[in-house]
């Protein structure tokens, strides 16, 4: 029997995602921008009026704009140069895995058993790196085992053939590893390897109250609570920092006494242990006695010819959508690992091979990860545009485009381009980190022709909001293009 995993997201991710987009919505009135026509010959002037303004004199821009079905550039600036691309890397990762494996591919997590019911001598779950596994998934497994008559298991084994020293990316910043967007990437992933930590004000002067939604995950951390409940409307100063190499989270700062609870998405410190402990707990809640447990990093038993239960992920089309829409780093890294496994080669080598098949010049990028969280990634606007154009020739073209956020409607673009002519006309991918903003994608221009573009800004000392405002103004200029007769 096969089980389909839940697509539910943790509530805190939805909250933080909405709050982030609201905080960085454009500060300019896009609806008030003039709607005059721009001829192709005027595009350079229109773009340069934006990027050469005094506030961006220290910033570095990379831009490439092409008609969707042409290699002739309408505008190019540093288009073959390397930039730190942030989450625009996900465009390459998801394109490659979708092109290589197809939209219907599913990750299968097998469970093997020994013994005769009601007493099993051995239950063995083999982790395959499915990022969509949830608490509800394992609960369904436990109930199915109960319904089959299982009363006891002598040994419960979960297999995680990840290298323990590799599950945290060596080029990711240490600070990021404490939070939901920088979690460990292993072969036993549960609840996206995250949990909720909620800070709530108490009486003025008292420490903030700490609560969590998953005690099994929270037990892996020690919380050093040095916070304080501040006066009414006092400024928010909460910070959470980890101790290098230690399971300690230092929580400092204040939250106003009249403030709402403050949710933080935290990383699970030891995901394999968390998976095993949660699975055991769920089995015991179904009155299945467990004598002993083990985490294995290699095949440990001669497995049965057929798994007694196989957990089946959603199709790859859904996994890719759930990567690109919210810009999920864990999903992107899990898909990159999957690509490497299916090709029997290092993940980044498999990525390069597949991108070459799509027509992407391998000299246009040097990647360290599949999500874009690493600052060791280097990517040119040209390589991004080549990826986007290459996917239009792939059998997975429609699935790929449908996975991308839509301007003013969905994903990380849902709060951008509202009340503008770009709304619903742009399918693209954002990218953001300190000093970096990016937007690349497909733009429909009914009065001209469909476009593909990549805009990246690096080394910027302007706020994220100001960077995005400038990028959005460029996209709005592209939307005004029309054929002109001279």
Tell me the per-residue pLDDT of 184-212, one tens digit each, with 9 for 90 and over: 999 999 999 999 999 999 999 999 999 99
pLDDT value for 27: 41
Give, as one character, the DSSP assignment of residue 132.
Answer: T
Which pLDDT does position 302 carry in this prediction? Answer: 54
- Cα separation, 52 vs 344, in Å, equals 47
Low-confidence ranges of the chain (pLDDT < 50): 1-34
Q: What is the CATH number of domain 108-165+270-312?
A: 3.50.80.20
Instruction: Write down the pLDDT at residue 244.
Output: 85
Residue 397 · residue 4 · CB < 8 Å? no
Q: Residue 364 has what pLDDT?
A: 98
Task: Give the Cα separation of 430 and 108 in Å (integer).
Answer: 30
Confidence (pTM): 0.91
CATH of domain 33-104+316-479: 3.40.710.10
- Distance from the first to the final alpha carbon of the chain: 68
Element containing residue 65 per DSSP (H, E): strand 60-67
User: How far is it, in rounded angstroms, from Cα 486 to Cα 484?
Assistant: 6
pLDDT, one tens digit per residue, over 261-276 is 999 999 999 999 999 9
Strands 222-230 and 239-242, how do they pair?
unpaired
Domain positions in the chain are 33-104+316-479, 108-165+270-312, 174-267
- Report the pLDDT value the prediction gives residue 34, as an integer from 0 to 100: 43
Instruction: Give the integer Cα–Cα distance in Å for 381 and 11.
Output: 35
What local confidence, expressed as pLDDT, does residue 189 receive? 98
State how far the alpha carbon of 113 is from the alpha carbons of 4, 133, 158, 375, in Å: 20, 20, 12, 44
* pLDDT value for 163: 67
pLDDT of residue 30: 43
């Amino acid at each position: 029997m096969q089980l389909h995993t839940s697509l539910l997201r943790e509530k805190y991710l939805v909250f933080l995602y909405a709050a982030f987009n609201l905080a960085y919505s454009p500060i300019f009135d896009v609806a008030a921008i003039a709607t005059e026509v721009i001829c192709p010959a005027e595009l350079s002037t229109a773009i340069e009026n934006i990027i050469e303004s005094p506030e961006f004199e220290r910033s570095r821009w990379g831009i490439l704009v092409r008609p969707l079905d042409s290699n002739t550039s309408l505008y190019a600036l540093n288009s073959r140069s390397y930039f730190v691309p942030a989450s625009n890397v996900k465009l390459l990762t998801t394109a490659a895995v979708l092109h290589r494996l197809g939209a219907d591919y599913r990750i299968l997590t097998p469970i093997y058993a020994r013994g005769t019911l009601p007493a099993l001598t051995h239950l063995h779950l083999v982790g395959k790196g499915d990022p969509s596994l949830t608490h509800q998934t394992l609960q369904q497994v436990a109930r199915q085992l109960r319904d089959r008559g299982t009363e006891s298991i002598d040994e419960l084994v979960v297999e995680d053939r990840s290298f323990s020293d590799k599950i945290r990316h060596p080029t990711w910043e240490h600070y990021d590893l404490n939070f939901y967007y920088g979690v460990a990437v292993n072969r036993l992933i549960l609840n996206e390897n995250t949990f909720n930590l909620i800070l709530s004000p108490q009486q003025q002067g008292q420490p903030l109250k700490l609560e969590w939604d998953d005690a099994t995950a929270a037990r892996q951390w020690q919380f050093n609570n040095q916070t304080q409940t501040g006066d009414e409307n006092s400024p928010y100063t909460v910070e959470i920092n980890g101790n290098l190499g230690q399971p300690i989270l230092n929580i400092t700062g204040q939250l106003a006494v009249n403030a709402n609870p403050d949710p933080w998405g935290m990383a699970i410190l030891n995901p394999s242990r968390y998976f095993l402990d949660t699975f055991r707990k769920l089995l015991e809640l179904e009155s299945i006695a467990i004598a002993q447990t083990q985490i294995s990093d290699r095949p440990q038993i001669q497995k049965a010819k057929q798994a007694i239960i196989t957990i089946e992920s959603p199709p790859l089309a859904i996994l890719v959508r759930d990567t690109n829409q919210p810009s999920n780093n864990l999903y992107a890294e899990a898909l990159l690992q999957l690509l490497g496994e299916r090709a029997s080669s290092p993940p980044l080598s498999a990525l390069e091979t597949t991108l070459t098949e799509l027509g992407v010049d391998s000299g246009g990028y040097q990647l360290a990860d599949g999500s874009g969280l690493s600052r060791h990634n280097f990517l040119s606007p040209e390589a991004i545009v080549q990826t986007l154009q290459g996917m239009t020739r792939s059998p997975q073209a429609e699935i790929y485009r449908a996975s991308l956020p839509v301007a003013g409607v969905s994903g990380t673009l849902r709060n951008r381009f509202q009340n503008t002519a770009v709304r619903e006309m742009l399918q693209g991918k954002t990218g953001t980190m300190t000093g970096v903003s990016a937007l690349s994608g497909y733009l429909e221009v009914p009065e001209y022709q469909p476009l593909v573009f990549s805009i990246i800004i690096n080394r910027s000392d302007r706020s994220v909001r100001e960077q995005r405002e400038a990028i959005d103004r460029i996209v709005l200029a592209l939307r005004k293009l029309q054929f002109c007769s001279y």
